[in-house]
Amino acid sequence: MVKSNFHIGIVLTLMSFMGFAIAEQSLTVTASAYTSSIGETDSTPNEASWGDKLKPGMKSIAVSRDLLKLGLTHQQEVRIKGFEGTFRVLDKMNKRWKKKIDIYMGKDVKKAREWGKQQVVIYWTNDK
């Protein structure tokens, strides 16, 4: 399987260099929301797991660690069905979560609670 994935990666890279479009991927995930509140994170609520500084107004998400293997790694752009624009993967969630994202909502705890937990479709392109 590893050899097969390696070959697929080479083919996709060559196709990208040759000007072929790389297919957009999609996945249905559970989405919750989080804020820069000490009660929700740790003692550094404005610092994401890769060291990025989170600021209200940023379009950022945290991803469950199983999604890293699908290409949803640091700085990956992601579209979320029902939202305008793109979000950047800037944070990782605790290992216990699977097939899940957290949408960053700055310091707006009320908005995050109103969002609750929903199923959403996310879209991204592995072009790295």
Tens digit of each residue's pLDDT (9 = 90 or more) over 67-120: 999 999 999 999 999 999 999 999 999 999 999 999 999 999 999 999 999 999
Q: Is-contact 126 25, C-beta < 8 A? A: yes
Distances (CA, A) of 100 to 56, 63, 72: 21, 6, 11
Go through 87-109 and write b for each residue having 16 or more CB atoms within 10 A of its CB, e for each that does not. bbbbbbbeeebeebbbbbbbeeb
Q: What are the structural domains of the chain? A: 23-124 (2.40.40.10)
N-term to C-term CA, the chain: 20
pTM for this entry: 0.78
Q: What sign does the CA torsion over 41, 47, 51, 55 have?
A: positive
